[in-house]
Amino acid sequence: MSIHLRAHNLWSYIETGIQANADDTARRKDQLALAQIHQGVDYSVFGKIANAKNAKEAWDILKLAYKGVDKAQKSKLQSLRREYERYEMSGSKTVEQYFSRVTDLVNKMRIYGENIPDKSHNLEEMSVAELQGSMESHVSRILEKTEKPVEEALKS
């Protein structure tokens, strides 16, 4: 959302708000920013910002709703960290499903302020996408090796 508002030169209305003595052009731009925020939220969230008078007010409401207060935010981040550290790939999950869940957890942690780089220093600076591709190739090779003996046994 912030990228969208920046692209339309409306971000200043989020950061500083609208001045009481602003001209009509500034007021229109603030209302445009507010409309963009309205369009960007789910209907279930819209009720929280429906009565906001300006873009900054709506943004502040959303920020509080999604980030929460400091204690709640820290607690949520700790919970996400624990889940991330304990998450394992089970035999019934594909590599794609595993990485989808890991990516979801990382994105949620980033929302709460966690700085998680895409590259891992432990794996020779390999990006997440490269690691996923490598794991998928490895799983394919393992499956090929286990299928060949079964096929050979059936031929006998």
Work out the pLDDT band at 74, boundaries 50, 70, 90.
Answer: confident
* CA 36 – CA 22 distance, rounded (Å): 20
Percent pLDDT > 90 in the chain is 35
Contact by Cβ (8 Å): 8, 36:
yes
pLDDT (0 to 100) of residue 72: 78
Work out the pLDDT band at 146, boundaries 50, 70, 90.
Answer: low
Please say if the pLDDT value at position 100 is more than 50.
Answer: yes
* CA 128 – CA 81 distance, rounded (Å): 17
Among 50-59, 85-94, 135-144, top mean pLDDT goes to 50-59
Torsion of CA 119, 123, 128, 131, to 10 degrees: 160
Q: What is the mean pLDDT of the chain?
A: 82
Please say if the pLDDT value at position 7 is more than 90.
Answer: yes
pLDDT (0 to 100) of residue 1: 86
Contact by Cβ (8 Å): 13, 30:
yes
pLDDT (0 to 100) of residue 85: 82
The helices-and-strands tally (H runs, E runs) of the chain is 8, 2
What Å distances lie between residue 72 and 20, 34, 76, CA to CA?
A: 34, 27, 6
Mean pLDDT calculated for residue range 109-122: 72
Please say if the pLDDT value at position 97 is more than 80.
Answer: yes
Please say if the pLDDT value at position 142 is more than 80.
Answer: no
Q: Residue 37's CB: how many other CB atoms inside 10 A?
A: 24
What Å distances lie between residue 121 and 17, 61, 109, 125, 136, CA to CA?
A: 41, 38, 19, 5, 20
Mean pLDDT calculated for residue range 77-88: 86
